[in-house]
Amino acid sequence: MLQLLADVQNWLAGLKNDERGATAVEYGLIVALIAAVIIFIVSTLGEEIRDAFDTIVGEL
């Protein structure tokens, strides 16, 4: 019984020190932030960018 308790304590201590999941969450948050910034920029400046490209294509 004591061995089982020791094994459970060791397992829980290992989970506490495991940062693999936290790293994945951090990368996910960074990707979400980058996507939100891109969406904001495209929705805000999309029409102006399209007009600029149309002007460039017209000049070519």
Look at the chain and report how many structural domains it folds into.
1
Q: CA-to-CA distance for 55 and 60, rounded, in angstroms? A: 9
Radius of gyration, CA atoms only, the chain: 25
DSSP string of the chain, one letter each residue: -HHHHHHHHHHHHHHHH--HHHHHHHHHHHHHHHHHHHHHHHHHHHHHHHHHHHHHHHH-
Within a domain: 16:
no
What pLDDT shows up at residue 33? Answer: 96
Query: For residue range 32-48, what is the model confidence (pLDDT) as tens digits?
Result: 999 999 999 888 888 88
Q: Is the pTM of this model over 0.85?
A: no
Residues in the chain: 60
Domain residue limits at 29: 25-60
| 36 in any annotated domain | yes
Give residue 23's pLDDT. Answer: 79
Q: Is residue 13 part of a domain?
A: no
